[in-house]
Amino acid sequence: MITFFEKIKAVFSSVEEFLMPFIRQFLTAEGPIILAAAEKAVIALAASSLSGVEKRNEAFNAILSELKEQGIKAGTAVINSAIEACVAKIKAA
């Protein structure tokens, strides 16, 4: 029989496996640049009257554009994660 702690360990193991690519990306030299671009875009759109989906799309495009200007390539999932992290940071403040 699987104990409660073994179940918890399995859940955290799968969460860690899921999050590890994002963590690795943010710990690279480009990570802080991606997060800074996301924060800039999210703050710029925070007071906008656009819907949440529209804000996310605009923020995504702004981040992608800024990263391209700097010669940085980042995947869609990484950019979306950066947006979500910045939104959470703003809501917590």
pLDDT in tens, 18-47: 566 666 666 667 888 999 999 999 999 988
The number of distinct structural domains making up the chain is 1
pLDDT band at 85 (very low <50, low <70, confident <90, very high): confident
Please name the amino acid found at residue 40: K
Q: Tell whether 62 is covered by a domain.
A: yes
Overall pTM > 0.95:
no
Q: Structure tokens of 53?
A: 């989906």
**Cα–Cα distance for residue pair 55/51, rounded to 1 Å:** 6
d(CA 18, CA 6): 18
pLDDT at 26: 61
Examine residue 15 and state whether it is found in any structural domain, yes or no: no
14 located within any domain:
no
Domain that holds residue 65: 21-92
